[in-house]
Structure formats: C-alpha cells, structure tokens
Amino acid sequence: MTDQIRIGIIGAGGISHSHALAYRGSMNRDLAKVVAIADIAEDAAKERAGQYGIERVYTDWHDLIADPGVQAVSICTPPFLHVDQACAALRAGKHVLCEKPVSPTLAGLDEIAAAERDGGAMFAGVFQHRVGQGAQQVKALIEAGHFGKLVFGLSETLWQRGDDYYSVWWRGTWEQECGGVTMGHGIHSIDMLAWLFGEPASLIADAATVKLDIQVEDTSLATVRFKNGAVGQIIVSVNAQDNRSRLEIFGHDLQAVSTESPYDPTREPFRLTSLDEAHGTSAREFAESMYPDTPKHLHVAMVNDFLRAIIDGRPPLVSTAECRRSMELITGLYKAAMTGERVHFPIASDDLWYSAIPAGGASLP
C-alpha cells in the first residue's frame, strides 16, 4: 500500500512502545507507517528506532513536526509538554494522537481545540479503556435501553506505587506530572464513568497525600451527581498492596461489573446480572452479538480508530469534546478537595480552576 499515513512519535519512553507496536498491528500496518521519532535522550530515540525500523531520529520535537514527511504524530511525552506539542503539531497541519492527561487544565484543552480548528487537522486523546470488548458491550447495552434508568456507577483504581516509581524526575509534581493519582492513574476509569453516564451536574471530594513523600495526592475520593439523576463514586489510590481496577454500572434492570485487571479492566466482557433472569440472558446475548470480539491490545484499537477517523474524515472516538467531560470531573475533584465546596458543572472560563490546578494558592488538606 503506497498511501500509508506517515507517523512521527514524540517521546521514546515506555508508552511509545505501545504506540509503535499498535501501528504495526495487523489492523493498522496497511494504514500507517512510523517514519520518525523524537526524544531529548538521543540514545533512547535511537534504541526505539532500531526496534521498529524507524527511519529518522530527532532530538528536538520541533524538528519532527517540521518534517514534511510526517503527516500525523503520537505524543508520548510527560504531561506538562502535551498542550504545547499538540498545538504546534495541529497548527502545522499534523493530526495528533495524545496520551493522557491530554492537558493539565480545561484552558489547555480549549487551546488544543482552537489549534485543531486553526490547522484543519484532527486531534484524538488516548482513552483506550473505551475500546475494550467489555466497554463497547456495556455502552451498546446502555444505548439500547437494557439497563433501564442508570442509578449508580463505581470507578475504582487501587494500585501500588512506591518511592522508586516517583524517583523519575517529572513524577509526583504539580509542574511536570500536572497532578497526582487522580490525573495520572485514575483518569482512565474516570473517563469511563463519564463516557457511560454522561454530563456531570455536581461533585464533592476529598484528596490527600497519606503515605508517599510527593507534592501531589496519593489518594482521592469523590461522589458525583450526573445530570441524568445517577450518582457515581470515584476512588483512586496508589497505596494498595496489589494492583486492581474495577468499574460497576447499575441500572433499574441490569448491572455490569468489570474484571479487576489493573490496566485493562474493560478488555473482557463485564459480568451482567439482572433480577429478571430472562432479561439478563437477553442482555448477554445482545452484547455478544454486537461485539463478539475486539483486539486484546487496546492501543491497537485506539490507534485504528485514530487512523480510520483520518481516512474517513470523521471525528475520532475521543475528540477534544470527549476529553473535556473527564477533565471537568478531574478539575472539579481537585477544586472540591482543596476548597471543601460542592462543585457545580460546567466550570466556567472565569473560574480560577479553569486555568490552574491548584488555583489561587490552594493546597491539599
């Protein structure tokens, strides 16, 4: 195939491996080819280039974006770089696939949306939990009415991270990591809750650094009221003795519980239960018929959606508007935890928390 989309990867750290593998996956290898990679650590970039047969290596990401042979970029750098890199690429007419968190603030997310409009290219965030077989089945069941009215959702991210993990220079800081466990670890499950339940109405929360010697929180909790009347709970911590994640979705007529796989709880079908046994059987049959199988490497499916959106001229699954819903929740959680207030949504552009986390000299309790 001669019209493959030519990809540049910015950042040669661990997550770039997932992107490089995904572009080479069977769903994507005819659609795209990675032709360039950039990292300030030249040895790391050269090593990744050697692994994946990438032709060009840059030590300055600006040079990769200026490369006329690059049509789209995957951003795999630390969070504090995402907005500048995404905006520069979009304004250069390059499509962008960006790792989480896409932006440290709602203001930064709106900057990306403006750059997308200005450059005429497309932006997509990486929220790969959405493309798991279980997630796709549950979304289809909700949209088809099998749950009835949604009443409650639970998002748990309970991991173990110690001093070695936070010894990396940019982690555990407001300036570089742009937040703690809420932003860096719980974001995928928070996104799932928002994707399945819709727009939030208000939120109360607490967050604290209860164990680790870091600037940011290592534990957070929130209760969300959604506009559809449902209530959700978010729990995130890196102080567990193991690693597990779980999503639970409850409706009048059906409930769904994910596996406890720490990093891809949505990859496999959820356990579906109903007081009406016949309804439960019908829901399971419907889910299986809609999504009998999906790629087990979730980045493969995420990259495929990005590439197909470019080719088909359609919005990606995780557009800037879709990124905004989870970013509203995260911003609201930090604001509520640090001010003790119930936060109401949406968060307006004149709110101090729209442009900064923490805002106005606020700090963790």
- CA distances (Å), 329 to each of 203, 224, 240, in order? 8, 8, 23
DSSP element (H, E) containing 253: none
The band of 295, judged by pLDDT with boundaries at 50, 70 and 90, is: confident
Contact between residue 118 and residue 91 where contact means Cβ atoms under 8 Å apart: yes
C-alpha–C-alpha distance, residues 197 and 191, integer Å: 10
pLDDT in tens, 230-268: 999 999 999 999 999 999 999 999 999 999 999 999 999
**What's the pLDDT score for residue 1?**
39
DSSP 357: S
Contact between residue 59 and residue 42 where contact means Cβ atoms under 8 Å apart: yes
Is 80 exceeded by the pLDDT of residue 318?
A: yes
Neighbouring residues of 164: CB distance < 8 A, sequence distance ≥ 6: none
C-alpha–C-alpha distance, residues 174 and 362, integer Å: 12
pLDDT in tens, 76-110: 999 999 999 999 999 999 999 999 999 999 999 99
The band of 294, judged by pLDDT with boundaries at 50, 70 and 90, is: confident
Helix ranges (DSSP H) in the chain: 14-24, 42-52, 61-66, 82-91, 106-119, 133-143, 181-184, 187-197, 277-290, 298-312, 320-339, 352-355
pTM: 0.96
Please give the radius of gyration of the chain, using alpha carbons only, rounded to the nearest integer. Answer: 20
Question: DSSP of 260-316, one letter per residue?
Answer: --SS-TTSSPPEEE-SSHHHHHHHHHHHHHH-S---SSHHHHHHHHHHHHHHHT---
Residue type, 262: P
pLDDT in tens, 198-233: 999 999 999 999 999 999 999 999 999 999 999 999
Domains and CATH numbers, the chain: 5-125 (3.40.50.720), 149-251 (3.30.360.10)
- First and final C-alpha spacing in the chain: 57
